Structure formats: structure tokens, C-alpha cells
Copies of this chain bind each other. A is one copy, B any other.
Amino acid sequence: MPETQFTAAQLAVPPRTSSIRSPRPVVRSRIVGENHTLLYEGGRNRSLYRVVDGCVVLSQLLDDGRRQITDVLGPGRLFGFTVDGRNIATAETLSVARIEPLGDADLNADDPAIARELKATLHRMQAHATLLGRKTASEKVASALVELARLFNRAARNGAPARLSFHLHLTRADLADWLGLTVETVSRCLNRFKREGLIDFSHPKTMRVLDPERLDATAGFSRQRANDAARP
């Protein structure tokens, strides 16, 4: 069994971050190992699932094997949405993960919380489309780091000052498939960021952000979008 990134004690106390409740008072969540495929694109399933803890990615394949990771899910996110009863995407764990089934997908279809989740997902997907279509390699990798840091930074739940250190659940290949790049380009960007003092990592998956502001700037994020006047 590969390394896990949380302890037995953490697994024993699944956090509740979402307002979505299943009809049954007690829901049996299950622990799934790393690199386990939960759902296949085009397959059938009649339940939604929530990621309670861990990391799950959604992906699609082209005929010749090219892969696109369409979403990276952390704690609280839902997956298993279907169109015409068919799974939209393949779902795989990138870590040991706690998964909670939410019951019949169609029964839950009119749950306002589900609609809210769908709209939030849509929002993320659109932002990612902008990344894929209009950002450079450096901006893509920087954006990914910012987003993953936000996703998996909750290690410091106990009120401790959240150090900008987090576990990169994705391999370089996963990052490449998420960002529309190649492993080589991802590796080059990460190591350039490291040389420039933006981030640091000794182990390839143990990331630490050293200069959050410069990383944000590299990501092409507009911290000012709210404050700034629109340009001429």
C-alpha cells in the first residue's frame, strides 16, 4: 500500500464541511486506496458521491490516449454527475480518500444544495477553460500551485498559522494532463519557480510557497479585479 497522507485518527473523525445531507440519518462512507478508479466515463451509476477527505480527479480520454483532467476535487466536493444516466467523467483517487455516497442521483437532482454545487463547479470549469485556452505555461503552472495550495492547505486546522506548505497529490504527468502541457514543461516551470525563490520542494510532492504574492502575479490572477477600474 502506498503512503497515506493522513493518520488513522484523522480518518476516524470525518469532517463535515457541506450542508448537503443524505436522507438516511447515518451514511456509510468508505475509504478508498490511492490510484483507484471510482467511476468510468460513459458508465452507469445511480449515486452521487462526496469527497470527505483526500483527492479525486475527473478526467476524459481521447481515442489515442491523450488525457485531460477536467477537475481536481478536494474535501467537500461532489462527483458522479450523469447525463442520460451516463457518467460525464472518469473519477480516480490520487490519495487514500474517504468517499461518501449521497444516494440516488435523480432523487437528489432537485436538492438546492446540489444545484449550488453544480453552479460552483461550472464556475471553476469556466475559469479553467480560460486557463487552458489563454494562459502561458508559466501562468498555468503558477495558477495550479495557487489553487492546489488553497485546496490542500487545511492541514493547519487547529488554528495554527497556515504555512503555505501542502501536499501535491498530482504527479507531474497529472499536472500536465490538467493544464494541457507536457511533463517536461511542467517540470521546467516548477524548477524555474524554485530557482527564482517562488516555491520550494525537496520531495517532488511536498510543495511550499515562499512568495505567495509573486506566485499570484505569475499566475495572472487579478487580485485587483474588484478594486481596479476597468481599462480603457
Contact = CB atoms under 8 A, between A and B. Distances in A.
Interface of A: 40, 42-44, 58, 60, 62-68, 70-71, 81-83, 88-89, 109-112, 114-116, 118-123, 125-130, 132-135, 177-180, 220, 222, 224-225, 228, 230-231
A220 B228 CA distance: 41
9 contacts: A62-B135, A66-B134, A67-B134, A70-B126, A88-B119, A89-B126, A115-B115, A118-B118, A122-B125
Contact of A119 (B83, B178, B230): B83
B127 A60 contact: yes
Contacts of A43: 230-231
The 6 closest A-B pairs by CB, nearest first: A133-B180, A43-B230, A132-B132, A68-B130, A118-B118, A125-B125
Contacts of A228: 42, 63
Given A42-B225, A62-B134, A68 B115 contact: no
Copies in the complex: 2
A220 B220 CA distance: 31
Contacts of A40: 230-231
Given A115-B109, A133-B179, A230 B121 contact: no
B65 A119 contact: no
B130 A60 contact: yes
Given A40-B230, A42-B228, A43-B230, A129 B119 contact: no
Contacts of A67: 134
A122 B109 CA distance: 14
A110 B119 contact: no
Contacts of A118: 115, 118-119, 122
Contact of A88 (B65, B115, B126): B126
A126 B58 contact: yes
Contacts of A177: 133
Contact of A122 (B44, B81, B230): B81
Nearest to A81: B119
Given A115-B115, A125-B126, A126-B89, A133 B68 contact: yes
Contacts of A116: 109
Nearest to A63: B222
